[in-house]
Chains A and B, each alone.
Chain A
Amino acid sequence: MTPILECRALAKVYSGRRALAGINLTVNRGRIVGLLGPNGSGKTTMIKLASGLLTPTSGEILIDGKRPGVQTKRQVSYLPERTYLENWMTVDEMLHFFSDFYDNFNLPKAAEMLQRLGIQPGDRLKTMSKGTKEKVQLILVMSREADLYLLDEPIGGVDPAARDYILHTIISNYNENATVLISTHLISDVEPVLDDVIFINQGYIALTESVDDIREQQGKSVDALFREVFRC
């Protein structure tokens, strides 16, 4: 089967800086993968390339064997670090926006998850706190039956209760044959939910391995290994 995500000598340079330095990478289906690296290591660049927001400087990135475009955008569900929702919209309008543009959006499921958070369909986004907006956005993204979920720092800067909610939402809602790529530098928080990890540093892939293999062979957690690999 074609891997869901493949990078071949993928490089991206912006404003003279090499964000990705020609990486080769294959990510298979049905996995939850951590894209781990310090700030500025190229995590976000990689995710933006996969979502089609950036175009490669050289090399290529393939989603399900295809270059990013309209077709891959149907298959990819992307959660950026920013809140990208329009403030004036109500929750209900947002739900219909998603179901209008994504035919794999499961509207009843999203509506139910929002209901459980106590968010009403008529609530306007501008009345919500930043944390609530982030949850709404996560629910919208995870309610798509996508092939690849790209989650950029989903737990960055949230309190522990929100972090639990977010991780819980991710593992109980992703499509089973799909792959979830989570970029973060908060490794110990996500470690239990990961199948595989990709260590990325200064635009290079430093390591790709399964979490259980790391623990079995090295006798230490991914978090501990990360601290070793990226010791300053």
Chain B
Amino acid sequence: MLGKLMKYEFKATSRIFLPFFGALLVMSGITRLFWSLFQTEELDEMITQLVMIPKILSVTLYIMVIVAIFVVTYIVMIQRFYKNLLGDQGYLMFTLPVEPWMNIVNKLLVSLIWILASMVVMMLSGLILAVGTELWNEMVAEFPRIFREIVDLFEREFHMSIVWLVVEWVAAVIIGIIHGILQIYAAIAIGHLCGRYKILASVGAYLGISIVVQTIGGIFSVVVMIPFINAANSPQMLSSYWNLSMLSGIAISLLTAAGCYIATHIILTRKLNLE
């Protein structure tokens, strides 16, 4: 059943995301074209200035599409949760023969996948802009050396494996995104309890959760730091400080996400009051 829910969620959201992704790739293609077509060296001043117009225009548009994707991702995430579960469509979604948790997890997973997909598409558009340029060629040539140096630096100086670092970063990013989404859901659900001032209450709830989480996180990071006050001169100490603060950050994110999920679930099952 979760699979079916996700299938329809993708149907509903891909209508919005895919055109934007398409627009981004097209825009990066156009930008690339303009910048490679009008090589300025051979041209005189007048024309140089003229060809700057399409160049700058295309870059501006490209950046606008990227901003639009960020904005749309947020709007769609909020709208799909608010309208589809707490609006009129909730009458359908909550009377389907599915467990209530599936409705939340469905929205969460689909949002997560779209966010990751936008990252991939943005990288792809970056590649379209860069591949084959001189800068790119230099980078490709230099990359193995730089990479080896970084690996060496971490492994020799700080005694950390690069694999572990990557795993930590990927985990932190994904859990961070999940935490972000669930915090928005919890804020909307809490706001929904508050009769007439739903939107205001949602914003308030979001800020409230953020303040609590950041305060706890701040205190935690100070506590974590105390044993390592003199760590600067010992690479071993530095690496274990690094590990500890990364892991505690992930743990706090995970706990907040769990708390937000539970709050959302309780509100949607026991306190649900569709208008």
Contact = CB atoms under 8 A, between A and B. Distances in A.
A and B touch in the complex (CB under 8 A): yes
Interface of A: 14-15, 48, 51-55, 70-71, 73-74, 76, 78, 80, 82-86, 88, 93, 97, 100-102
Given A55-B269, A70-B98, A70-B99, A15 B195 contact: yes
B231 interface: no
A102 B91 contact: no
A103 to B, nearest CB: 9
A52 B94 CA distance: 8
Nearest to B93: A84
A100 B92 CA distance: 13
| The 10 A-B residue pairs with the shortest CB-CB distance in the complex, in nearest-first order | A84-B92, A84-B91, A82-B88, A73-B97, A80-B91, A74-B97, A70-B97, A101-B96, A78-B95, A51-B95
Contacts of A14: 273
A95 to B, nearest CB: 13
Interface of B: 1, 4, 7-8, 11-12, 15, 84, 88-92, 94-99, 195, 269-270, 272-274
B58 to A, nearest CB: 31
Contacts of A51: 95
A55 B20 CA distance: 41
A93 to B, nearest CB: 8
B194 to A, nearest CB: 10
A100 B4 contact: yes
Contact of B8 (A48, A78, A84, A97): A97
A82 B1 CA distance: 25
Contacts, number: 55
A157 B156 CA distance: 77
Nearest to B8: A97
Contacts of B99: 70
Given A53-B274, A73-B98, 19 more contacts: A51-B95, A53-B91, A53-B94, A53-B95, A55-B272, A70-B99, A73-B96, A73-B97, A74-B97, A76-B95, A78-B95, A82-B91, A86-B84, A86-B89, A88-B12, A97-B8, A100-B4, A100-B8, A101-B97
A92 to B, nearest CB: 12
28 contacts: A52-B94, A52-B95, A53-B91, A53-B94, A53-B95, A53-B272, A54-B272, A55-B270, A70-B98, A73-B96, A76-B95, A78-B95, A80-B91, A82-B88, A82-B91, A84-B89, A84-B90, A85-B92, A88-B12, A88-B15, A93-B11, A97-B8, A100-B4, A100-B7, A100-B8, A101-B96, A101-B97, A101-B98
A73 B98 CA distance: 8
Contacts of B7: 100
Contacts of B88: 82-84
B193 to A, nearest CB: 10
A55 B7 CA distance: 29
Contact of B95 (A73, A83, A85): A73
A70 B269 CA distance: 12
Interface centre among B1, B97, B272 (most CB of A within 10 A): B97
A66 B159 CA distance: 60
